[in-house]
């Protein structure tokens, strides 16, 4: 799966699971800082990523840089798939 497909899946997931205005979500939107997802949303996002892409998230992966935006999440998934 290429990075564009990963981004598309991640953006669709976030759009479907936020109460905020979906038209404001871009690939560089800071999804937690701007309130699109909260801490429970992070848990659900990680579950989605693990199930959708067959990856495993470790404690060492749980840093803000990996989950701050669709771009960051997609890069994280891409690295895990490599």
pLDDT 10s digits, 1-49: 899 999 999 999 999 998 778 788 999 999 999 989 999 999 999 999 9
CA angle (47 as vertex; 45, 48 as ends), nearest 5:
65
Question: What is the pLDDT at residue 23?
Answer: 83
| pTM of the complete model | 0.93
Is position 73 within any domain? yes
Question: What is the pLDDT at residue 75?
Answer: 97
Is position 35 within any domain? yes
Is position 20 within any domain? no
* CA proximity to 68, closest of 40, 44, 35: 35
Q: Looking at the 3D structure of the chain, how many domains does it have?
A: 1
Question: What is the pLDDT at residue 33?
Answer: 93
Place of tokens 């953006």: 11
DSSP secondary-structure letter at 57? -
Is position 17 within any domain? no
Is position 21 within any domain? no
Domain CATH code at residue 8: 1.10.1200.10
Is position 67 within any domain? yes
């Amino acid at each position: 799966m290429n990075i564009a497909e990963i981004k598309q899946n991640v953006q669709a997931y976030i759009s479907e699971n936020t109460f905020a205005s979906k038209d404001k979500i871009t690939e560089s939107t800071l999804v937690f800082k701007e309130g699109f997802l909260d801490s429970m949303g992070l848990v659900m996002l990680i579950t989605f990523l693990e199930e959708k892409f067959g990856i495993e998230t470790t404690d060492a992966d749980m840093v803000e840089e990996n989950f701050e935006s669709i771009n960051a999440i997609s890069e994280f998934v891409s690295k895990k798939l490599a």
